[in-house]
Structure 1
Amino acid sequence: MDEAYSRAVKIALRMLFRRLGELVPTEARLKPKVASEDIQRRLGTMVEGLVPSGWQETALRELTARTFVLNFQGAAAALETELSSGYVGGDTTAWHILWVCFGDYGLTPKEIKMPCDGIANNFAHVRWSSYETRDPYNDVVVHEAAHLLHYLKPRHYGLPTRRHQERFVDVDFRYYELFAFACEAYSRVVQHCERRSRISFAERMPEDASSFPRSQMEELAALVLKAALARNGWKVIREATVIRRIPMPAKGLTKP
């Protein structure tokens, strides 16, 4: 029964995507999807700064391949990827892709609200209008790909595992959003070559950043500035957000 339902949902999604696509302006419909080279360029610094060296090549490859920017062509590719990955129900990522994409073209029903800039689970999906942001501290591609870092497991790619580290970055679930926001903002900070310029840019974040939740701005801006001041800013972000492991007692030792 579930399999039959999933097949029916996939047929409906593909048909609805085609029908709504006919209403998208021709220029927008023909605009190519964002190149993987652009996505990889945005993610390279983060991966190099956060992921152990032996895992970096695989992590960057997987993050690049799993990240989609949802203009019409990108959404078509993302939708097919999600539909091919298994069961699809009535409230799954595939539906979110549909409405996020067509919402940017004014084709979403009024009762459907999709205010998010992106979605991340097995794949990362970025709203087209958010990709073209004017906020100098914002990069939703980095934000959503950062979530993939704490979802994906190196052992699934045949990589040698590290003791007490299950994922590419073992982020504490309480800090998932802080981690992703810090990654995107700091990825903008490090684009400034001079240290003084990086610090100055980070200091202006509370006033100049427009797309981050104000409720988290104080904590986020403090972390980004601390990273800008440090010799290794990515290490600062990682240490502020990862799971704290409790040291195991050595063999032969017992508690008093």
Structure 2
Amino acid sequence: MPETPEQATERYLRSGEHDAHFRAWPGNDFLARIHGGDAALRSALISAVHSRTVHIAFPETVANIDVVAFTRGKVAPMVRGLFPASEQASVLDLLERSVILLTPATIDAQLQNTQLLATAWDLANLYLGGLGADLLAEGAPGLLGLSEETSCYLSAASFDAPGRFEDFLVHEAAHILHNCKRETIGLRETRTREWLLEIDYGKRETFAYACEAYSRLHSLGDSPRGRQELLAEHERGSMPPDERVDALEYVDILREAVAARNGWKRILQRCSPPRAARRPGPRAV
């Protein structure tokens, strides 16, 4: 038996999954079904979020944050360390515009307008988790931040990281740097520099976690020795909770970073694609 609209809606709210052809919805053609099904699922998602947060107050301290100024303060050291002076203003402007704080005033528009329904479902859970509300499903990921292409979404809980070597904004901003093409923000693209940063695909999470930790090490430590002591403390604690990150490599990258004059560049070097894997130029004839 084919799904009814009610069943399709329940499945989406429970799992974030949906039929790409929206066959449960009536319509004279494919586009009509897509339009009706997409609108129905987004409306149900927004209603589900409202029902779970109706009695929860959004933290006033977070609601009053100047997101642009806060973002600049967090990411400016990383941008200065990774980009030449002539490009820093463009990259900072990108990151300032990319950070979106999910609040009662912004959540409906984000769920309504984000391109993919799967992303909308993740954002709903990100927002709910940040307020301590029930997630849409038991198996929903407990996210504190999320980046997609050139957008970085933060929940209320993103500003209260449990560990002092954690910074979700820097982590997600680091992902934007390998998701955005240089030409997108008006920088000259070359044969070997298509993206803002060329990061090996298998080391993207390693790069983000290393940037996150190094940001905190650099902020907390006022000298190379102080940062080395903080790194030793970090090693004794918990490592990134991500199977895509090799803990030994992660720590080794941070050791090199804290010992270098420009630790950001050392992280970039360790996470860049092997030279042989980079796109070759035209062959001479």
- With normalisation by structure 1, the TM-score equals 0.83
Q: Deviations over 1:169-214 (max 9, x none)?
A: 1111110110000000011121122221122212222113x36228
1:16 equivalent in alignment to 2:79: no
Q: 1:10 and 1:109 mapped to 2: Cα distance?
A: 14
Contact 1:178 1:220 survives alignment (8 Å): yes
Deviation at 1:4, TM superposition (A): 2.9
Deviation at 1:28, TM superposition (A): 3.5
Aligned residues: 245
1:32 equivalent in alignment to 2:63: yes
The corresponding residue for 1:111 is: 138
Q: Deviations over 1:112-145 (max 9, x none)?
A: 4222332211312234334302312110111111
The corresponding residue for 1:95 is: 121
Opposite residue 131 of structure 1, the aligned amino acid is: F
Contact 2:59 2:156 survives alignment (8 Å): no
- With normalisation by structure 2, the TM-score equals 0.75
SS at match of 1:150: helix
Deviation at 1:39, TM superposition (A): 1.7
Opposite residue 93 of structure 1, the aligned amino acid is: T
**1:251–1:220 CA distance, 2 compared to 1 (3 A):** closer
Q: 1:40 and 1:177 mapped to 2: Cα distance?
A: 22
Structure 1 gap ranges (5+): none
Opposite residue 119 of structure 1, the aligned amino acid is: L
1:149 equivalent in alignment to 2:181: no
1:138 equivalent in alignment to 2:197: no
Q: 2:160 and 2:82 mapped to 1: Cα distance?
A: 25
The corresponding residue for 1:221 is: 251
Q: 1:8 and 1:53 mapped to 2: Cα distance?
A: 48
The runs of at least 4 aligned residues of structure 1 exceeding 6 Å deviation read none
SS at match of 1:190: helix
Contact 2:42 2:112 survives alignment (8 Å): yes
The corresponding residue for 1:128 is: 156
Alignment of 1:3-82 (within 5 A): 3-25=35-57, 28=59, 32=63, 34-36=65-67, 37-70=69-102, 72-73=103-104, 76-77=105-106, 80-81=109-110
Deviation at 1:85, TM superposition (A): 4.4
- Structure of higher CA gyration radius: 2
Q: 2:258 and 2:62 mapped to 1: Cα distance?
A: 37
Q: Deviations over 1:54-74 (max 9, x none)?
A: 33222212222222344x44x
Of structures 1 and 2, the one with the larger relative CO (CA 8 A, separation 6+) is 1
